Structure 1
Amino acid sequence: MPEMHFRVRWPDDTVTDCYSPSLVVKEHLEAGRSYPLAEFVQRSATALNIGSERVREKYGFACSSALDQLRRIEELAARFEASPDPVVRVESFTP
């Protein structure tokens, strides 16, 4: 399965490199686009869960790396939930 990494910039300007086990993430996030925090988390969750299920279909088990990445995204996002109008920018994708 082709892996994909995506770099995101959080509301405090920190940058995180994220992992997806599938190219499906490019169907849910767009490089160069900013998303409201909740929408970014929702789109990430959708993409990473689909990616994990694709791994399950192919190998018989879910992708723990995708689920761990989603947990990290949710933890990071929680830091900004009280901020007024927080946005997350998807900087880039790399294979």
Structure 2
Amino acid sequence: MPEMTFSVRWPDGRETSHYSPSLVMHDFLQVGERYPVSDFVGRTSEALALASERVRAKYGFACTSAMHSEEKIAAAAAASPAGEVEIVAMEPALPGGAA
């Protein structure tokens, strides 16, 4: 199962990197886009839950790393001022050169 990382810049300028056990993040986020903090939290929460369920379907247990990423994002959002989260990078990119 392909895994990935995605890096974001919070409204206060701080950058964080997060892990997903699935490329499903590409269905929810796009490099260079900006999302209001609450929208970003909702998108990543939904995507990481799907990614964790894909792990459960394949291996029989949920992905604790996806859950940790979700917790880390929620904590950063709670400490963040209002504003937008920018998607800085997503690795690996989708095949065919899509971001």
Q: Is the shorter-chain TM-score for this pair beyond 0.5, marking a shared fold?
A: yes
**Which of 87, 91, 97 is equivalent to 1:90?**
87
Structure 2 residue runs without a partner (length 5+): 93-99
1:26 and 2:26 are equivalent in the alignment? yes
Counterpart Cα distance in 2 of 1:66 and 1:78:
18
SS in structure 2 opposite 1:6?
strand
Q: Between the two proteins, what is the percent identity of the paired residues?
A: 48
**TM-score, normalising length: structure 1:** 0.94
Equivalent position of 2:65 in the other structure = 65
Q: Distance in 1 between matches of 2:5 and 2:51?
A: 12
2:11 maps to 11
Alpha-carbon distance in structure 2 between the residues aligned to 1:38 and 1:16: 16
In the aligned structure 2, how far is the partner of 1:63 from the partner of 1:91? 24
Aligned partner of 1:90: which letter?
A: I
The amino acid of 2:2's aligned partner reads P
Q: Give the Cα–Cα distance (whole angstroms) in 2 for the partners of residues 17 and 75 of structure 1.
A: 13
Output the TM-score relative to the length of structure 2: 0.90
1:87 Cα deviation from its structure 2 partner: 0.7
Per-residue deviation, 1:86: 1.3
